Amino acid sequence: MNRKKETYDRYAVGERIQKQRQSLGISQEALAEKIDRATKYCSDIERGICGMSVETMLAFAEYLKMSLDYMMYGIEPDCGEIKIKEFPEPVLSLERTEINRLLDQCESRQITYVLRMLELFIEATSQDMEGK
């Protein structure tokens, strides 16, 4: 059994990317240039012809101001129902220790991805917190 399982619906992802790009008034050429990809590649992604790397997903999400949940799965964040639990300092210290342990297992390329995802997460949740 050697079948490749699709991890996401490329056609739906492409439609969401295209819709967001168009709503921002950005051409495919401008988007491709901004995220350092070929225009044809961006077009193929929008049409669901091909998948994309994590780097490309992050580039689309960052430039188009889309959450990864929405881009990949169509899940819109419901900011009204987000409950942020405050942790006491000793628990935060343990969490940081766990994060460091996980990062120690990563290659430098993986750490770069983690940092970019963390930046996007902080930016997205900072906007949520400002709206409250």
Output the pLDDT for position 30: 92
Expressed as residue numbers, the domain containing 12 is: 7-76
87 and 69 co-located in one domain: no
Domain count, the chain: 2
51 and 92 co-located in one domain: no
Is 83 contained in some domain? yes
35 and 86 co-located in one domain: no
Interval 116-125: pLDDT, tens: 888 888 887 7
- For the chain, residues with pLDDT lower than 70 are 1-7, 77-94, 127-132
What is the amino acid identity at position 3? R
Q: Which two tokens stand for residue 9?
A: 């619906």
Is 1 contained in some domain? no
d(CA 13, CA 50): 11
Interval 100-116: pLDDT, tens: 778 888 888 888 888 88
d(CA 29, CA 49): 18
d(CA 92, CA 14): 38
Q: Which two tokens stand for residue 2?
A: 């050697």
Q: What is the domain-level CATH number for residue 46?
A: 1.10.260.40
Q: Which two tokens stand for residue 18?
A: 């295209």
Among 59, 76, 93, identify where a domain stops: 76
Cα separation of the two ends of the chain = 51
> Phi, psi (5° rounding) for residue 41?
-60, -45
Output the pLDDT for position 96: 73
66 and 13 co-located in one domain: yes
